[in-house]
Every structure is written in C-alpha cells, then in structure tokens.
Chains A and B, each alone.
Chain A
C-alpha cells in the first residue's frame, strides 16, 4: 500500500503571500490531520478532517485553514504568510475514525520557508 504523500516537498514564499499544501492519505483512510513542526514549538496539531468535515482544531489563527475532498485528499492553506510560519508541515492519515484516537501515519512533510 502506498503511504501518505504530500506536495510540494519544499516551498519558498515571501511574507504576505499565501500558500496551499496538499496531502493524499493512505488508500482507504478517511481521516487526515495536519501538524506544524518548528524547532521552538515542536509538533503542534493544526486540525483534523474526516469525511470532508473538520472535527477538531488546534490553537492556530484563522490564517490557517483546510479542507478535505470526497476522495479524502486534503489541502491546507495559510494566508498572509509571516516569518514565523516557516516550518515543516506534516500530514497524517488514519483509518476508522470511530471517535477514539486511531494510529496516525505521517507523510514526508512540506518544508515551508517564508522570507
């Protein structure tokens, strides 16, 4: 089975721009979670989507948004980029979505650099 894929792998943007990152979960998985990883804050939860619905959200400003499509692929968008948004953005997929916490498998990440 193919793993989680994320595109693009690397991205360089300037302050004030916006960016869209894409994630394709493992085949059959319906839940996609997004995380931000920085040296200072570590891995932090952004949001989770299941069946095109956002089920949970972390403590990030409204500039961070996401969506999920009917094929479970997900995108996240960051508008009005700030220098502090430079990070590794990780997508994780999981299966059943029963309400508990399923095992999550991470993609390779998108490295975003904001200049």
Chain B
C-alpha cells in the first residue's frame, strides 16, 4: 500500500463547477497535510495546509481533513480553466521535521 494515495485522473469538470480531489494516507500518526498545485513544467506551489479535523477555507478552495478515516480532500469552487493542473497531496513523513510524503497527484482539467 502506498503511503499517500490519490486518483491520478484526469478529473474533468466544466468551468464553474466544483472540483473534488481526494487523498488517503496510511500513517495514523500523521499530523500535517498540504495541498500543492503543479502546472506542467513548473514547480509545486502551495495551495493550503491543514492540521485539524474539519474544514478550512481559503477563497475558492476548501480543504477537509478526517483523521479517523485517514482522508483529506480539496474542493475547488467555481473552477476555472486556469485551475487545470496536477494537484499534489502531501503528508508529513516519519522521522519528523520537514519530510513530506507526496501522492502521485491528480490531474484536473477544467473545460470551458
């Protein structure tokens, strides 16, 4: 079992719709969760971090964390073609400090 799992997609949504991206992780001790966006040929850029169970909203983005189910998700409201990218879920790895374990990423395509 991979440590961090994401559906590779592509996830195709129409412009203006809600895109829902999901991620599961295997280490019950994980405490820190991050969503990054990566455009083709570019480096990952941080969208949001979440540390506590529940929802965290930032503009059109909402991250949801459920530690009991070992599940974290990202909702993108009013999706735009510019949101088309690969979304990477990252979880803190064993050993502490700044070690992140990344999922393989979900490719999102927003079509006009």
A107: chain B residues at CB < 8 Å are 43
Instruction: Assess whether A100 is in contact with B102, with CB atoms less than 8 Å apart.
Output: no
Instruction: Assess whether A45 is in contact with B43, with CB atoms less than 8 Å apart.
Output: no
Complex CA distance for A102 and B92, rounded to whole angstroms: 9
Of the candidate stretches B61-69, B72-80, B93-101, the one touching chain A is B93-101
Of the candidate stretches A11-19, A68-76, A77-85, A89-97, the one touching chain B is A89-97
Cβ of B57 within 8 Å of any chain A Cβ, yes or no, is no
- Number of residues on chain A facing chain B (CB within 8 A): 29
Given contacts A100-B32, A101-B31, A103-B34, contact A45 B46 (CB under 8 A): no
- Number of residues on chain B facing chain A (CB within 8 A): 25
The binding surface of chain B is classed by DSSP as loop
8 A Cβ contacts from A6-33 to B: 31, 33
> Can you list 16 pairs linking A and B with CB atoms under 8 Å apart?
A33-B98, A42-B105, A43-B88, A45-B93, A45-B100, A55-B96, A55-B97, A56-B99, A88-B43, A100-B31, A100-B92, A101-B32, A101-B97, A103-B34, A104-B34, A105-B46
Top 7 nearest A-B pairs (CB, nearest first) are A101-B92, A101-B32, A43-B102, A106-B43, A56-B95, A56-B99, A55-B97
Tell me the A residues contacting B by CB distance below 8 Å. 31, 33, 35, 42-45, 48, 50, 55-58, 88, 90, 92, 94, 97, 99-109
A42-B105, A103-B49 given; name 8 further pairs at CB < 8 Å: A43-B100, A45-B93, A55-B98, A56-B93, A56-B97, A101-B98, A104-B98, A104-B100
Tell me the B residues contacting A by CB distance below 8 Å. 31-32, 34, 36, 42-46, 49, 88, 90, 92-93, 95-105
